[in-house]
Amino acid sequence: MVAEFTDRHPVVLVHGIYDTRAKFATMVDFLTKGAGRFIA
């Protein structure tokens, strides 16, 4: 279990960072378009 965690940890960490950045970019894009619609 420890070896499995050690082998997967880097992948999970990188995936977690990428997933967070992807969600953040999607949220910013959504808010930008949403704000543009409300302002316009």
Query: What tokens appear for 1 in the block?
Result: 């279990």
Q: Radius of gyration (Cα) for the chain, nearest Å? A: 17
**What's the whole-model pTM score?**
0.42
Distance (Å, whole) CA 28 – CA 10: 27
Model pLDDT for residues 1-40, shown as the tens digit of each residue = 455 555 666 666 666 777 888 888 888 888 888 777 766 5
**pLDDT for position 37:** 73
